Amino acid sequence: MPTSPIIHDVMLRDGLQQESQTVPTEQKLAWLTRLGGSGVDIIQVGSFVHPKKVPQMADTDALCQLVRERPETLGGALLSGLVLNDRGLDRALAADVDLVCLGVSASETHSRKNTGMTVAEATERIVAMAARAVSAGKRVQASVQSAFGCGFEGAIAPRAVLAIVERYAAAGVGHISLADTAGHATPEDVTRLYGEAQRIAPDVEWACHLHDTYGLGVVNAYAALASGVTVFECATAGLGGCPFTKVAGGNLCTEDWVHLLQRLGQRLDLKLEPLLTLARDMTQTLGRELPGKVHLAGPIATAPPGRSVNPGGLEVTP
């Protein structure tokens, strides 16, 4: 499995899904082009959900078509999309996304609010959908939402998360994400839960989806990196939040995370400036200051002289 951190930007989906201001399709395409120009690895174009439930995602199919007509917009990145049900999966397959993302919440309350189903019902449906997507030749990433806590229920028992991980692994899902939907995780929580999950499914490529609701997004991402996580779902400018959780907080900020990685000597191939320019453009379009830090403060020079990163990617030594 790859050891270099993979950047999966979800701004166009998780970032925009609860915005009251509708962002036009052409504006989204321009933002996607900036993302492609930065060299990020995966771009999530949107979610294939009913437009009445999430109006910002009403143009997901049309945006996918525009991207396929103008492949240079991706800059080599994979195109991903989120699906919640079989109809959404049909649309994702028709749109020819490269990576199908789906998931189950470990919180009964969040699951019912998000999908109208119990955790058990949702797990059965998602596992069957994952199998169908794999049989269609698609890469699949399955997530466990509210893995580190729930705004409605509080702490979530690790065994509830691990039971879903076991179902995914048994179904042959090779890419699994643990999502901190409510932003409750601490670095110790991240280290512990990934350690337990990896013992259950040692051959899986692990991803994380972290929210910065309580200011811990970057430190939790650092802990995930140390725990062997290779895929990081984040959003430019730190935009976002689940509309079906109690307190919606922004995502791990793409440019802030890339900035840290580059200061550690990793992912120097990524272009930070297009991300910073995009974050500033988003600020103007949405008419408010967004959560990211580096687009406001400006970057620090990467890889300071005399510092190096070990093969594990974390210990910075003189």
Report the first-to-last Cα separation within the chain, whole angstroms: 29
Residues marked as catalytic = 242
Give Cα 193 to chain centroid, integer Å. Answer: 18
CA–CA distance, 84 with 254 (Å, rounded to integer): 24
Closest CA to 46 of 33, 35, 61, 36: 61
CA–CA distance, 67 with 318 (Å, rounded to integer): 45
User: Number of helices (H) and strands (E), helices first, in the chain?
Assistant: 11, 10
Which residues pair with residue 9 across a beta bridge? Answer: 43, 234
The total number of residues shown for the chain amounts to 318
